[in-house]
Amino acid sequence: MRLYMPAPSMMTMSDPELPPEDLSPRRRRLQFRAWHRGTKETDLMVGAFVARHIATFTEAELDDLEQVLELLDVDLQDWLSGRRPIPAEVASPMLARMAAECAGRAAGTTPEIRAGLGLDPA
In a domain, 122, yes or no: no
Candidate from 6-15, 25-34, 95-104, 110-119 with smallest mean pLDDT: 6-15
In a domain, 53, yes or no: yes
State the pTM of this model.
Answer: 0.71
CA distance 61 to 66: 9
Which residues, 6+ apart, have CB-to-CB distance to 4 below 8 Å? none
Provide the number of structural domains found in the chain: 1
In a domain, 9, yes or no: no
In a domain, 33, yes or no: yes
CA distance 74 to 112: 28
In a domain, 54, yes or no: yes
Write the burial class of residue 52 (CB in 10 Å: 0-12 exposed, 13-18 middle, 19+ buried): middle
For 2-58, write each residue's pLDDT tens digit: 555 454 444 444 444 455 668 899 999 999 999 998 899 899 899 989 999 999 999
Domain containing residue 80 = 23-116
The predicted structure's pLDDT at residue 116 = 72
In a domain, 11, yes or no: no
CATH code at 92?
1.10.150.250
In a domain, 17, yes or no: no
In a domain, 2, yes or no: no
